[in-house]
Structure 1
């Protein structure tokens, strides 16, 4: 199956890797990579040496009812990060709609035996940003539904005992940067201030290793979500579902999310980043 692409007014901006052939320990799941600005600057990384399980832009949670769908080692309370045979996968099960600017499909979040933990409907769209020729926007909407016979709890290394604001897991974007990027919100600046906040938007600006500067403006926190941000260890931004406390999808109910990323060429200031979220 050929990986679908997203385009904006005829310009290819992202490839959607639908069924990656990966080691189970990398948390196989659909992901966007490469994602590019309209001028062609690459703004995602996948399978990086420092965290091989970071896959471009994707939805992933390290603890879904005890299954690791993030990849890598699992954080175990009282023990720390440990390799366990607990890795599941997120699999595409069918298209609802497929076009150059819109991908709409069904998925299953599965445990290591293939048992279905959650079902999902996911829609990705790419569109121009009115009034800004150097930017486009990605919208990803996700509806995660629990089965009819049990609740499903979502957790993170933080909820399993890891200190240091490591509440990652959710909609995660692994960026690229030739040096540590800058990160800011309407009121805050830097990783230490932004990580764990609940600001309406987060902007990351950086320079790609191949050349070209970019700004990514993220929005879409849901109730209880927080921003997980890294700039020094690696460049990444996550809408974290369980930053401090676990989140539960109750029996036969759904969790809805709508995440938007404005992908812009150049380094944008705080005022311009804020305007792009409106």
Structure 2
């Protein structure tokens, strides 16, 4: 642990490290992120800097196109040109703490372009609590505010012309799975059926590096959000802000989000995941 790291714990058990100000390549989209995140049994359920996408940083909040600035990391998708390396990377920077407790963190941030101009200001809060013998819940809430004098546009590779449902950008969880991951909602199963859906909850099951099964149950889409899911190319799930059309935060306005991720040991079936999404325990 360093001065830039904070730990979230549940009943004294460390469950997540929050890296606040990572010293990483600007092309990887520097931003606060959670990694490793663990089940109460100790299984790691996030990945960071994976070889396939070095800019995937555990669980984080990031958007690839914020008024033309790439805050996601990696290449930028350019219409009629495809993915292109551009000098357009910004940073999501921590500015000050409000709360630093083992079960709750709250702080202020700025979303900046390559020249450090502030695109958005943010207040973010993270909290961890037990929801059963085998499960704990991460609650994340944020408020993104545009400058008083201009609208801010949020986009994705999909809104910039990439086909195939690549509408990612928002609250993204890069998972880890030693075996093919499974994803379902109350009415659909598999990447093709779930990607782009607006289901109230989603269950994602995988296998940690230790070989143990785990399940994530995510909820909290805001109006206009969609689920972005990958299980074949890599394991990951995102609350996508601009899945198939750009979104705008009007001048001086605030976009809020509130999501819950229940992290549990074991591979849950649909009924058990639905019970957790409804506030039950395991």
Q: Name the TM tier (shorter chain).
A: over 0.9
After the TM superposition, which segments of 4 or more aligned residues of structure 1 sit over 4 Å from their partners? Answer: none
CA–CA distance in 1 between the matches of 2:161 and 2:75?
A: 14
CA–CA distance in 2 between the matches of 1:212 and 1:17?
A: 25
Corresponding residue for 1:147?
Answer: 147
Corresponding residue for 2:173?
Answer: 173
Shift of 1:209: 2.4
CA–CA distance in 2 between the matches of 1:199 and 1:180?
A: 22
Deviations along 1:11-55, one digit per CA (max 9) or x if unpaired, are 000000000011110000000000000000000000000000000
Shift of 1:277: 1.2
**2:200 matches 1:200:** yes
Shift of 1:2: 4.3
Corresponding residue for 2:127?
Answer: 125
CA–CA distance in 2 between the matches of 1:125 and 1:68?
A: 28
Structure 1 residue matching 2:133: 3-state secondary structure: strand
Of the candidates 62, 69, 72, which is equivalent to residue 70 of structure 1? 72
CA–CA distance in 1 between the matches of 2:253 and 2:159?
A: 22
- TM-score normalised by the chain length of structure 2: 0.97
**Gaps spanning 5+ residues in structure 1: where?**
none
**Gaps spanning 5+ residues in structure 2: where?**
none
Corresponding residue for 1:227?
Answer: 227
Deviations along 1:39-91, one digit per CA (max 9) or x if unpaired, are 00000000000000000000000000000000000000010000000000000
Structure 1 residue matching 2:245: 3-state secondary structure: coil
Aligned residues between the structures: 276
Corresponding residue for 1:243?
Answer: 243
- Alpha carbon RMSD of aligned pairs, Å? 0.6
Of the candidates 109, 114, 121, which is equivalent to residue 112 of structure 1? 114
Q: Does the aligned pair in 1 maintain the 2:29–2:74 contact within 8 Å?
A: yes
Corresponding residue for 2:182?
Answer: 182
- TM-score normalised by the chain length of structure 1: 0.99
